[in-house]
Amino acid sequence: MNKETLTWVGKWTFILAAAGSAVGLGNIWGFPYKAGTNGGGAFVLIYLGCILIIGLPIMISEIMLGKRYRGSPVSTMKDAATESASSSNWQAIGWGGLIAGVVILSFYSVLAGICLNYIFISLGLEGEIDSIAKFQQVTSSPLQLLLWHTIFILITAWIIAAGVISGIERMVKLLMPMLFILMIIMVVNAFINGNFSQAFSFLFSPDFSAVTANTYLSAMGQAFFSLSLGMGAIMCYGAYMSPDQEIYESSAIVAGLDTLIAMLAGLAIFPIIFAYGVEPNSGPGLVFISLLSIFADLPFGNIIGGLFFLLLSIAALSSSISLLEPSVAFFAEKNILSRPIASSMLAGIAWFIGLGSLLSFNVWSEYTFIGSRNFLDSMDLLANQFLLPLGGLFVAIFAGWKLNPSIAKAELGGSEFVFRLWQFFIRFISPVLVFGIFIFQFI
Ligand code: PHE
């Protein structure tokens, strides 16, 4: 593969691919339940702050580095360090990213598999069901979880094996418009069948009495995860960006679309939650338990439910491919392995680690790994609250302090004022906040 000439076709392909990476389970499953358990509006406000002042400057940096050095995160960081006469140890950011990608993919695929399974469960709904029992039935069977986990990871590996243009590009052009249309249908459904005004005030009128130090950590972790930052996915996609594409504008569109979809997911879910008198703070089971019982009750609920879980699965797929791409790109660019072989091998590793997450719903539910957390929650914690914030912190320090500013300026273009603004945030605001919030969890 010639990395110099491999480029997305047209400006919108990069935007669709990056938005496809960003919009995923984090937006439609994670954001609503975290907003629900953290008291609503205040969490939303802190989350928006994290996106804008931590996420956006780091996203600009990742895209800039990818676009200039055009490699996997490892070689991008290595080349970037060399050109700015910095230590080649900075490539550790790239290595951390490859590992984080495989770790996240391992549990992401288990969750996405449950979503795939739920498409069929919803379509088969006939009248009342006990949705708690249903969820327990789905998750108590290691074999059933294994089947869907395997299907999901095979689809991911197959797309990545097909390559950047015929795999990723073709897929996101198909999936992203579908996702957007399905989302609008879900919001219209919530508007008609739900209590829209109560949901609106729950999401947008902040009550700071529910805010603790943990709210900040959770909102920041969620912002990194949701924007796909700190592990090289966006950097890797930036490597296929056309050289004349604007970075500020593209970053703002991607971050904006990601935020829009998270908000729309809230507006699709909470109105029906409230209309049915269900508590918004039920946690990770919010969509699988609370929503399912509501779908069972709605007119045409089986179709609406089926569409909802299809939407969730599509969003998950366009994200999971970006979790696998950085490590596959690394092996392929070095000609160590072909893309299909690298893709099968790395997906196989993620599949294997995923078995731990899958078992944590049933056979391993009593085993704890980090603190009192089961395997799945430990992997989630490791990724969201350690690997991604640390990856993002080091990207910010590198881009702000180590990279030669004239290189950044040449790559970013635009006005002097916007450049100075980015530079100020990436030097003083983003890293300090990430570090502060990160350290806070230990005291
Ligand atoms: N952003 C994706 C989501 O919101 C998850 C993801 C994280 C994808 C990191 C790639 C890299 O679900």
| Predicted confidence (pLDDT) per residue in 369-391, tens digit | 999 999 999 999 899 889 999 99
Cα of 127 vs centre of ligand 1, distance in Å, is 35
* Per-residue pLDDT tens digits for 327-367: 999 999 989 999 999 999 999 999 999 999 999 999 999 99
140 is written with which tokens?
């108590």
* Per-residue pLDDT tens digits for 152-206: 999 999 999 998 888 888 888 898 999 999 999 999 999 999 999 999 999 999 9
Whole-number pLDDT of residue 5: 57
Atom of ligand 1 nearest to the CA of 258: 4
Domain that holds residue 237: 3-440
Cα of 252 vs centre of ligand 1, distance in Å, is 17
DSSP assignment of 74-87? HHHHHHHHHHTT--
Please state the pTM of the whole predicted model.
Answer: 0.94
Measured between alpha carbons, how far is 35 from 157 in angstroms, rounded to an integer?
32
Whole-number pLDDT of residue 108: 97
Pocket of ligand 1 (CB under 6 A): 21-22, 24-27, 104, 225-226, 228, 231, 233, 319, 322-323
399 is written with which tokens?
């881009």
Cα of 22 vs centre of ligand 1, distance in Å, is 5
Measured between alpha carbons, how far is 147 from 142 in angstroms, rounded to an integer?
9
Measured between alpha carbons, how far is 428 from 423 in angstroms, rounded to an integer?
8
Whole-number pLDDT of residue 298: 86
Cα of 349 vs centre of ligand 1, distance in Å, is 18
For residue 15, give the amino acid letter. I
Atom of ligand 1 nearest to the CA of 25: 12
Atom of ligand 1 nearest to the CA of 315: 12
pLDDT of residue 443 exceeding 80, the answer is no
The more confident residue out of 167 and 306 is: 306
What is the rounded average pLDDT for all residues in the chain? 93
Atom of ligand 1 nearest to the CA of 24: 12
The count of residues in the chain is: 443
Residue in 33, 179, 323, 324 to alter for ligand 1 test, most ligand atoms within 8 A of Cβ: 323
Average pLDDT over residues 78-94: 97
Q: How far is CA 194 from CA 39, 101, 205, 285, 297, in A?
A: 20, 37, 19, 19, 12
DSSP label at residue 208: G
Cα of 314 vs centre of ligand 1, distance in Å, is 13
CATH number of the CATH domain containing 30: 1.20.1740
Please state the domain count of the chain.
1
